[in-house]
Structure 1
């Protein structure tokens, strides 16, 4: 059995429409990136980690606390994947 990453990349680009994508219990859909956003499913418990809280703070500064629709995090997707992987 492989290691769990704590996230899954969703198929389909930066489309905000998540109605066709099933979100498993315990996961949150997230759009990550600045221009070409990628969609991820992140385990809820990952958001308790300080580095993830910092990313959420960055998103709040960029988009405000009342984002409509899917949560957006404005950071490099490779960096995001490293952060999520590091907070096992």
Structure 2
């Protein structure tokens, strides 16, 4: 998982199939960009989205923001809590 600060990315070499987060930074294949409740941007591996605790955070975000939120997925917890959840999921995955 990568934690990134918001910064302008260089899109000059982008091809038509490249995927970019809201701030123009390229998202690596197999990752989903998310924003925590405190505004920290996080790149989460897609394989972690199936974990029950991540799914619960996504359900809470859907209740708060709705299913049609534009742009990057937003989750309601702060960055510290989200990091602990991700660490727990990675530890269980072995």
TM-score by length of 2: 0.76
Partners of 1:18 and 1:47 in 2: how far apart?
Answer: 22
Show CA shifts across 1:14-53 (max 9, x none): xx8332x1110000000001xx310000000111000000
**How many residue pairs get matched?**
77
Partner residue in 2 for 1:57: 59
**Distance across 2 between alignment mates of 1:47 and 1:17:** 20
Structure 1 unmatched runs, 5+: 1-6
Between structure 1 and structure 2, the one with the greater Rg is 2
Moved over 2 A (4+): none
Q: Which has the higher strand share?
A: 1
TM-score in terms of structure 1 length = 0.81
Quote the residue 1:18 is aligned against: 23
Unaligned runs of 5+ in 2: 8-20
